[in-house]
Amino acid sequence: MNPNAKIFVTGHRGMVGSALVRQLNAEGYQRIITRSRDQLDLLSQTAVTEFLATEQPDYVFIAAAKVGGIQANNQYRADFLYQNLMIEANLIHGAHLAGVQRLMFLGSSCIYPRDCAQPIKEEYLLTGPLEQTNEPYAIAKIAGIKLAESYNRQYGREYISVMPTNLYGPNDNYDLANSHVLPALLRKAHEAKLRGDSEYVVWGSGTPRREFLYVDDLADACVYLMKQGYAGPLLNVGTGEDVTIRELAETVMDIVGFEGRIVFDSTKPDGTPRKLLDVSKLAALGWRARTSLRDGIRLAYDSAPFRA
């Protein structure tokens, strides 16, 4: 990327978007465009098209999305499908109309079949049924991947899609009704410690395995790929290592300093049994994650808003 390039980062107040802005700033890029939801409604095709035509960015990072954990995905299925479809369609089509050649679409590892072989290779996309609890969100993200691919094929664009594993870090969502597993565990353990509880409840059986990536590592990978000029197919971004939910909960307890015991609520859903990404293609391009899970959780806990 040219140091003077004009870069539009959507969702800059969210966990991924804010990490991208931090990374770009750290690497000396100064012409970074951001807009809040109040300033630009990404659900409006007219507003997005006019904005991109006026601003004429050189690069676009699509980090804006409606996101949430198992409960939110399952409860607000129409909202997750509709809003994510609109956001990505408006941005990808609007970027094309504005003549933007380089764009990155950020998806999610939930795009892959629920029971596919592990670790998950990029070519496993669309080879089996999805996890039902987040199927609408996954379908929206798959549509975004295929939309980017189609603009490349039909119009010669260089729109790439990256699929991060489970993310955590600064600006994560710690609302217990809508958050993902790691931030939820951090807040539960912290509040249990403050109350002096003897136990804290973890959803499910504790046996599913999950991979976690510190969000600043994701941002580093995204900027690295743009700088390298990567224009190939879908790429996984992760650590290549996973842990059980029980192991995750125990690590969280240790970092928070909660000395009670874990109680698993088996009436709550486990979700997909395992989601470990095969990151060999990204490794072959010269990038690997640098932040260990324990170090990342410590950084996330230190910056968590509920500690203020």
Q: What is the pLDDT of residue 75?
A: 87
Q: What is the pLDDT of residue 70?
A: 73
Of the candidates 29, 59, 137, 151, the residue annotated as catalytic is 137
Q: What is the pLDDT of residue 128?
A: 96
Q: Which long-range contacts (CB under 8 A, 24 or more apart) does 18-23 make?
A: 18/170, 18/171, 19/169, 19/170, 19/171, 19/215, 19/216, 19/218, 19/219, 20/61, 20/63, 20/219, 20/222, 20/223, 22/216, 22/219, 23/216, 23/219, 23/220, 23/222, 23/223
For residue 145, give every residue at least 6 positions away whose Cβ sits within 8 Å of its Cβ, in sequence order, or none.
Answer: 105, 107, 111, 125, 161, 234
Q: What is the pLDDT of residue 55?
A: 98
d(CA 223, CA 208): 31
d(CA 289, CA 296): 11
d(CA 141, CA 122): 14
Nearest to 151 by CA among 80, 88, 68, 85: 88
- Strand 209-210's sheet: what is its strand order? 243-244, 209-210, 274-275
Q: Which two tokens stand for residue 82?
A: 């509709």
Categorise residue 183: left if φ over 0, alpha if ψ from -120 to 50, beta otherwise.
alpha
d(CA 108, CA 113): 12
pTM over 0.85: yes
Q: Which two tokens stand for residue 143?
A: 């549509």
Amino acid at position 180, single letter: H
d(CA 152, CA 135): 26
Q: What is the pLDDT of residue 208?
A: 93
Q: What is the pLDDT of residue 197?
A: 97
Residue 4: burial class (beta carbons within 10 Å; 0-12, 13-18, 19+): exposed
Q: What is the pLDDT of residue 199?
A: 95
Categorise residue 100: left if φ over 0, alpha if ψ from -120 to 50, beta otherwise.
beta
d(CA 92, CA 57): 13
**137 carries an active-site annotation:** yes
pLDDT along the chain (308 residues), means of 10: 94 97 97 97 98 98 88 87 98 98 95 93 97 92 98 98 96 84 95 95 94 98 97 96 97 97 92 89 98 98 92
Q: What is the pLDDT of residue 30?
A: 94
Q: What is the pLDDT of residue 50?
A: 98
Q: Which two tokens stand for residue 108?
A: 């999610």
For residue 161, give the H/E element and its range: strand 158-164
